[in-house]
Chains A and B, each alone.
Chain A
Amino acid sequence: GAGQDVGRSCILVSIAGKNVMLDCGMHMGYNDDRRFPDFSYITQNGRLTDFLDCVIISHFHLDHCGALPYFSEMVGYDGPIYMTHPTKAICPILLEDYRKITVDKKGETNFFTSQMIKDCMKKVVAVHLHQTVQVDEELEIKAYYAGHVLGAAMFQIKVGCESVVYTGDYNMTPDRHLGAAWIDKCRPDLLISESTYATTIRDSKRCRERDFLKKVHETVERGGKVLIPVFALGRAQELCILLETFWERMNLKAPIYFSTGLTEKANHYYKLFITWTNQKIRKTFVQRNMFEFKHIKAFDRAFADNPGPMVVFATPGMLHAGQSLQIFRKWAGNEKNMVIMPGYCVQGTVGHKILSGQRKLEMEGRQILEVKMQVEYMSFSAHADAKGIMQLIRQAEPRNVLLVHGEAKKMEFLKQKIEQEFHVSCFMPANGETTTILTNPCIPVDISLGLLKRETAIGPLPDAKKPKLMHGTLLMKDNSFRLVSPEQALKELGLAEHQLRFTCRVHIQDPRKEHETGLRVYNHLKGILKDYSVQHLPDGSITVESILIQATAHSEDQGTKVLLVSWTYQDEELGSYLTSLLKKGLPQSTP
């Protein structure tokens, strides 16, 4: 899932022989089989547990975790599931709510039960930020802060020296209750990034907040009522904090209500996970926990008819049913009132209709509802925009990028930009498609201490950052690699040492005597090879280090001298250099 698509996030990664599943979401748009990922991709026969090493859930949104009970309980998976503490706490609430809506309201059967959710949660292992969790001996994962919603995390998956970073959904600009995503320069082989806003660069958040507050404030001052339809989690808390601080700052008295139920439970968790919020909340929490709202109270049905100004947060966010719609119907007739839609509305909902300017709504029972209240739209969204995505890529410095969770057309643009700016290859596979990325794995090799000391003594100072060339013998034995000195290798393998000598004859036109030729060669070499020890032995042969050169007269032609160059295998480099040097001939000018 999530390939060139939003929703149903589910990505399979095979890295160095390990298989990891990233997220396990559902699709909001479908009500049939397509709402869950097709797990038969993983394996046709055999159990999923055998095939998958672990499952990682980035955050609690249903399009990232909605299919989890189905996957673990109905399809069958018993391996570990990793998520952060807040996600683990909030996830079951949402799943339960989702289950209720599908089963109880829509009357679907063959759906996971509450017990399944509980069982599923038992398999979850909670992780802390920046905690390196060893899944098995080779596979390790590490969570980074991602903003977006409480407990959202990016995960680094590492096997050996190959690594993948999966961002989940993240946000690079801080908001009222959460900070910005952050990652260190971990240089992963692959960065899997969401790209919801691949083609958008957003305006400063402050302007939007200010507009929002101003509108609410004005309406309240006029004595009007404000209705804010929200979804239970995430934005709702942000808006609450925003209004709460504003009320505090401005000393306002009008009541703010929060529709009860799910949200109350969720608020409880927000109170608990203060460390996951932003700087301001973390700092002030000693005096007062920001989520212990002073001005925001629980809403009761009867309050809607109270006179005087008030602000009400009510679910659901698209005004299609439930409490928010009820309140909306009560208040719609008064032009002093206002409804603020803080998010996107699906076509066909009341929310969408009023946003597109419709003033007369037909409700069930052929009633016509005239909308006189003001309708405002205010976008609060917590995904990284194009700049944010680029910023994250710059921070992490990956070798490859893979885009998911976005529309194909938009991804295309971002892909092109990424390749242009960072010169890394970028992929955007569709659902079901597999992308293979070549990595340059490094293989750790044990080196014997003696050899290491010997080799480091030769060159300049050891430099941890730079590769260094070493001579040694690579032993591959019992699935392990060792680098040892040749002598030791021979000993271990029980082999005798063979001398490998290369000899080469070079013909030189020189009428002089062998001895003289030898001397000339000696002088010549002495002149060129200043750094090497060149010796002239009494028997007329010359040695350069351990290379032997002998000059003999050609048996047939006395004018041609034959230089015999002989070197061992170890001196291959120098030997071949010498031969090429000699082949060029001796300088003529020598007397």
Chain B
Amino acid sequence: MAAHLKKRVYEEFTKVVQQQHEDLSTKKLRLTKPSKSAALHVDLCKATSPADALQYLLQFARKPVEVESVEGVVRILLEHYYKENDASVRLKIASLLGLLSKTAGFSPDCIMDDAINTLQNEKSHQVLAQLLDTLLVIGTKLPENPSVRMRLVEVACKHLTDSSHGVRNKCLQLIGCLGPVEKGVAKEAESQAARDVQKIIGDHFNDQDPRVRTAAIKAMLQLHERGLKLQQAIYSQACKLLADDYEQVRSAAVQLIWVLSQLYPESIVPIPSSNEEIRLVDDAFGKICHMVSDGSWVVRVQAAKLLGSMQQVSSHFLEQTLDKKLMSDLRRKRTAHERAKELYSSGEFSSGRKWGDDAPKEEIDTGAVNLIESGACGAFVHGLEDEMYEVRIAAVEALCMLAQSSPSFAEKCLDFLVDMFNDEIEEVRLQSIHTMRKISNNITLREDQLDTVLAVLEDSSRDIREALHELLCCTNVSTKEGIHLALVELLKNLTKYPTDRESIWKCLKFLGSRHPTLVLPLVPELLSTHPFFDTPEPDMDDPAYIAVLVLIFNAAKSCPTMPALFSDHTFRHYAYLRDSLSHLVPPLRLPGRKLVSSAVSPSITPHEDPSQQFLHQSLERVYSFQHLDPRGIQELLEFTIRDLQRLGELQSELAGMADFTATYLQCQLLLTKALQEKLWNVAAPLYLKQNALASAAAKQIVEETYKMEFMYSGVESRQVVIIHHMRLQAKALQLIVTARTTRGVEPLFGMCEKFLQEVDSFQRCFISELPHMQGSFVDKLLDLMPRLVTSKPSEVVKILQTTLRQSTFLHLPLPEQLHRATANIIEPTGESDNPLRFTSGLVVALDVDATLEHVQDPQGTVKVQVLYPDGQAQLIHPKPADFRNPGPGRHRLITQVYLSHTAWTEPCQIEVRLLLAYNSNRSKASSRIPKSTWSESLEALPPSENGIEGTIPFSKPVKVYIMPKPARR
């Protein structure tokens, strides 16, 4: 709370500072204004050669110009502009004009006429282009002035016939940015301009210079972005541009076509060279597909990306994109995909062993083969086989988007996506796995496809494997062999990469619960039970066996007949796993097994409610303790905290909530304990020890409140108030303790003032919440505020002491969802006995792999701390790229920590842990204050005063054995 109050104080300060600042600057302005423009004037007059003038101008451009003096400077510049003969100087002046008119707070309409006038006599094309650029800046600065815009557009139209491409470029850009958009305005304006902007731009589609053509298309797109509805007539023009010689023109044209296809999807266009007509969106789709095999890869990427967003396209066009008719020696050949499918449907396994297995069969009519399809044929086949991986990624993305909107297409593209799992570039593989996961609702994998998918499980990249596990979590498999195959491959994966354990178990959990009927026939085989003989009991600690059990138990949840197949030890293992891995093993209804069923089964389904109830009941009890004697309060709090902690361990869903409340109660307990001490009545020096206890309590409360504020996700402002309030109380306690222990009043003055400021900022921050805090410490304190401000420190302390003792305990409302940020370091495991040896003075990289849950903005907050045995601590900020986000609320940190130390004689352990950094400025309370008022001035303040920064350790430390050897000479 103190921190918070403090921060408020600084806000206050900053405001004041800014005020002063402005005052200062205005004063300064008055002083400098004449000198500035005058100096420039003098300089320019002094300049003997154009080169000199240019130098002066360049120097001038480096310095900022105040708003008030802009106009004067502009006048001077213009004056010189007319006098100047050298084009380069004029160019610089023109660009300066543009820069100056960008100055915030300056309204450039006063210099517009002059700027337009300069255009008239200008001969140099470069300067003309620059002047037009300046006009563009001026135009964009004056958005609410249609007449100005019209004038500028007219000027631009006049210069469109210029022979330089640069000038035409700028004109088109200007028209695109400033051209009239609303129809009404356009009509009014047309009386003067009598021209249609679109037509003007359209005329330049055939310009001789490719740069101008590009600019024309870009201007058109700009108009579209500004809300003008483009005419359909442009479509045919744009289509012609697709065959342009220059890649930037083609690239822009593809975009334009895409825009038009979104605007007029349903209108009909004729197919050239035949009488048929098709929908425009289909035609555009075909055209863009064609561009996927363009010569330039930039265009290919562009085209492939845009394909994904054309969802109105009709399905038969869509399906053509995956079609590529194979032939060999003029005979139709089936693709490998078709063959695989056929083999699958005929129930045969691929022999694949004969030469000519894929021998072409039917003859095809030579006339019917269309080698260059006009339409969409095979666009994705080409895109996915492209040389550049950028194109392939774009194609995969597009496939994903299209497949999400069309289930039939999803089914069709599956083969191709599965193929992409074997791409040579890892990013592409990863992308295609993610894509597959996204569309997995629409698809069922065939066995042969599953086979290919599962082959990737052996990939050495962890990302790929985990992405694949995620994929398997949500795939549908069609046969029991498929399930078996998946299980076998996953177990293989497990033996090869034991670190994947958790992820594989989770994957099997979903696999089991999704396919109970497919798992059922496999159960005897998987558990290796025998109808007559007892089989040996498997090892309970074997991860592979646990994996199998996870699969079976999850399937058994919705398949009541399954438990009948279990053998005795299976039930025992179930009970064990249900306890130890409760997040993976679901509650089961096990008939006939009284022991298990009574313990777990019947009451299990409505189990959530009681625990929730319990939580609330225990809290109720605590909040109503007002009338109890202090001893009773303490006991009650202690019990409740113990209960809550236990509850949190048992019920993972409630863990966050329980811990949160427990922490709060702990704070309260500490506070009560501290106040209970009898020391308050006795002279200070006698109770130094007690003091230490009280101050330690205060310190701990402050720490705990920071934890409460920053370690939990889902904390709302209601909770923040209470947390801050608790912190304020702790600060008060600290103040009291210090007052009692220190002699002299001098330091107390400062502390008191600081505390009062904190109270003040608390009040301002949470003004809306104050009514809910009747009878609380702060409530009472604010009542006494006028007295406090005027009184001496010793009196303040006294008042505080009484209020603190009298104040009531605030009820902590619980939010809907509350999660505690947790981190778990997977690697290093800390089990290794082999020290990591390295030469002292050099560095060694330690791989750190950790999972983070419920951490907001981990890139900014999570740090790695390394503690050396000599007490030296090192704080490492991982790169933002080291964080991966495998799911909502979950993050994964895979990074490398560099260690170094001087030589040791013995190997020793260092500690690695994760910290959560916080900054009280970033707290939720401050975010509610409109930032604009003080954010600029904030930067002026030294950063240490911004707020209290600190770190909370939130993972178990892991010990790593290292041994820096002395360097050998």
Distance in angstroms between the alpha carbons of A559 and B844 in the assembled complex: 119
B424 sits at the interface (CB 8 A) = yes
A 168-213 contacts with B by CB, 8 A: 173-174, 176, 179-180, 182-185, 199-211, 213
B422 sits at the interface (CB 8 A) = yes
Distance in angstroms between the alpha carbons of A413 and B336 in the assembled complex: 25
Q: A184-B295, A203-B336, A390-B372 are in contact. Are A374 and B353 (CB under 8 A)?
A: yes
Of B453-461, B566-574, B647-655, which stretch is located at the interface? B453-461
Contact pick for A174, options B208, B354, B387, CB 8 Å: B387
13 A–B pairs (Cβ distance < 8 Å), ordered by A: A176-B424, A180-B387, A200-B327, A201-B371, A204-B384, A206-B419, A206-B420, A214-B455, A279-B388, A357-B355, A377-B356, A410-B330, A413-B366
Of A65-73, A458-466, A488-496, which stretch is located at the interface? A458-466
B369 (CB) vs chain A CBs: closest residue: A417
Shortest C-beta distance, A41 to chain B (Å), equals 31
B 372-395 contacts with A by CB, 8 A: 372, 378, 381, 384-389
A 408-429 contacts with B by CB, 8 A: 410, 413, 416-417, 421
Contact pick for B422, options A179, A210, A215, A357, CB 8 Å: A210
- Contact in complex: A377, B371 (CB < 8 Å): no
Q: A209-B422, A251-B458, A464-B208 are in contact. Are A185 and B387 (CB under 8 A)?
A: no
B161 sits at the interface (CB 8 A) = yes
A356 sits at the interface (CB 8 A) = yes
Shortest C-beta distance, B968 to chain A (Å), equals 29
Q: A210-B419, A251-B458 are in contact. Are A174 and B386 (CB under 8 A)?
A: yes
Residues of A with C-beta under 8 A to B389: 279-280
A 341-392 contacts with B by CB, 8 A: 341, 355-357, 374-377, 386-387, 390-391
- Contact in complex: B336, A211 (CB < 8 Å): yes
The 3 lowest CB-CB distance pairs between A and B, nearest first, are A174-B387, A207-B336, A377-B355
- Contact in complex: B336, A386 (CB < 8 Å): no
Residues of A with C-beta under 8 A to B387: 174, 179-180, 278-279
Residues of A with C-beta under 8 A to B327: 199-201, 386
Shortest C-beta distance, B206 to chain A (Å), equals 9
Q: A203-B326, A356-B355 are in contact. Are A185 and B245 (CB under 8 A)?
A: yes
Residues of A with C-beta under 8 A to B384: 204, 206
Residues of A with C-beta under 8 A to B325: 201
Residues of A with C-beta under 8 A to B355: 341, 355-357, 375, 377
B222 sits at the interface (CB 8 A) = no
Distance in angstroms between the alpha carbons of A248 and B420 in the assembled complex: 18
Q: A207-B419, A279-B388 are in contact. Are A199 and B208 (CB under 8 A)?
A: no
Residues of A with C-beta under 8 A to B245: 185
- Contact in complex: A199, B329 (CB < 8 Å): yes
Shortest C-beta distance, B292 to chain A (Å), equals 11
Shortest C-beta distance, A160 to chain B (Å), equals 21
B245 (CB) vs chain A CBs: closest residue: A185
B425 sits at the interface (CB 8 A) = yes
Q: 0/1 per residue, B390-431, Cβ < 8 Å to A?
A: 000000000000000000000000001001101111000000
Distance in angstroms between the alpha carbons of A279 and B385 in the assembled complex: 13
B 305-352 contacts with A by CB, 8 A: 324-330, 333, 335-337, 352
A439 sits at the interface (CB 8 A) = no
Distance in angstroms between the alpha carbons of A50 and B670 in the assembled complex: 106
Distance in angstroms between the alpha carbons of A265 and B423 in the assembled complex: 29
Distance in angstroms between the alpha carbons of A465 and B207 in the assembled complex: 10
Chain B residues packing against A (C-beta within 8 Å): 161, 163, 208, 245, 293, 295, 324-330, 333, 335-337, 352-356, 366, 369, 371-372, 378, 381, 384-389, 416, 419-420, 422-425, 452, 455, 458-461, 496
A394 sits at the interface (CB 8 A) = yes
A207 (CB) vs chain B CBs: closest residue: B336
Distance in angstroms between the alpha carbons of A279 and B329 in the assembled complex: 32
With a 10 A CB-CB cut-off, give which of B326, B386, B496 has the most chain A CB atoms: B326
With a 10 A CB-CB cut-off, give which of B161, B330, B386, B387 has the most chain A CB atoms: B387
B428 (CB) vs chain A CBs: closest residue: A280
- Contact in complex: A250, B459 (CB < 8 Å): yes
Distance in angstroms between the alpha carbons of A320 and B796 in the assembled complex: 105
- Contact in complex: A199, B328 (CB < 8 Å): yes
Shortest C-beta distance, B791 to chain A (Å), equals 71
Residues of A with C-beta under 8 A to B335: 203-204, 207
Where chain B touches its partner, the secondary structure class is loop
- Contact in complex: B366, A416 (CB < 8 Å): yes
Q: 0/1 per residue, A465-477, Cβ < 8 Å to B?
A: 1100000000000
Contact pick for B460, options A173, A210, A217, A248, CB 8 Å: A248
Shortest C-beta distance, B158 to chain A (Å), equals 15
A395 sits at the interface (CB 8 A) = yes
A356 (CB) vs chain B CBs: closest residue: B355
Q: A204-B381, A249-B459 are in contact. Are A280 and B424 (CB under 8 A)?
A: yes
Q: 0/1 per residue, A317-330, Cβ < 8 Å to B?
A: 00000000000000
- Contact in complex: A207, B353 (CB < 8 Å): no
Shortest C-beta distance, A328 to chain B (Å), equals 16
With a 10 A CB-CB cut-off, give which of B245, B324, B335, B371 has the most chain A CB atoms: B371
Residues of B with C-beta under 8 A to A464: 208
Distance in angstroms between the alpha carbons of A199 and B381 in the assembled complex: 19
A245 sits at the interface (CB 8 A) = yes
- Contact in complex: A417, B371 (CB < 8 Å): yes
With a 10 A CB-CB cut-off, give which of B163, B384, B424 has the most chain A CB atoms: B424
Residues of A with C-beta under 8 A to B378: 387
A177 (CB) vs chain B CBs: closest residue: B424
- Contact in complex: A391, B293 (CB < 8 Å): yes
Residues of B with C-beta under 8 A to A251: 458, 460, 496
Q: A182-B295, A251-B458, A463-B208 are in contact. Are A174 and B385 (CB under 8 A)?
A: yes
Distance in angstroms between the alpha carbons of A96 and B631 in the assembled complex: 102
- Contact in complex: A204, B419 (CB < 8 Å): yes
Distance in angstroms between the alpha carbons of A245 and B425 in the assembled complex: 10
Residues of B with C-beta under 8 A to A417: 369, 371
Residues of A with C-beta under 8 A to B381: 204
Shortest C-beta distance, B927 to chain A (Å), equals 43
Distance in angstroms between the alpha carbons of A466 and B208 in the assembled complex: 9
- Contact in complex: B353, A375 (CB < 8 Å): yes
A200 (CB) vs chain B CBs: closest residue: B328
- Contact in complex: A213, B422 (CB < 8 Å): yes
B332 (CB) vs chain A CBs: closest residue: A201
Residues of B with C-beta under 8 A to A214: 455
Given contacts A203-B335, A211-B352, 14 further A-B contacts (CB under 8 A): A176-B424, A180-B387, A203-B333, A207-B335, A207-B419, A250-B460, A278-B387, A341-B355, A355-B355, A391-B372, A395-B295, A461-B163, A465-B208, A466-B208
Residues of B with C-beta under 8 A to A357: 354-355
Residues of A with C-beta under 8 A to B460: 248-251
- Contact in complex: B458, A206 (CB < 8 Å): no
A354 (CB) vs chain B CBs: closest residue: B355
A 107-146 contacts with B by CB, 8 A: none
Contact pick for B329, options A200, A207, A391, A461, CB 8 Å: A200
Residues of A with C-beta under 8 A to B356: 377
Distance in angstroms between the alpha carbons of A183 and B330 in the assembled complex: 27
Distance in angstroms between the alpha carbons of A293 and B330 in the assembled complex: 40
Shortest C-beta distance, B675 to chain A (Å), equals 63
Residues of A with C-beta under 8 A to B326: 200-203
With a 10 A CB-CB cut-off, give which of A207, A209, A278, A463 has the most chain B CB atoms: A207
Residues of B with C-beta under 8 A to A465: 208
Distance in angstroms between the alpha carbons of A374 and B384 in the assembled complex: 32
A377 (CB) vs chain B CBs: closest residue: B355
Residues of A with C-beta under 8 A to B371: 201, 386-387, 390, 417, 421
Shortest C-beta distance, A241 to chain B (Å), equals 9
Shortest C-beta distance, B558 to chain A (Å), equals 35
Distance in angstroms between the alpha carbons of A45 and B234 in the assembled complex: 64
Distance in angstroms between the alpha carbons of A413 and B366 in the assembled complex: 7
Residues of B with C-beta under 8 A to A180: 387
Residues of A with C-beta under 8 A to B372: 387, 390-391, 394, 421
Shortest C-beta distance, A152 to chain B (Å), equals 15
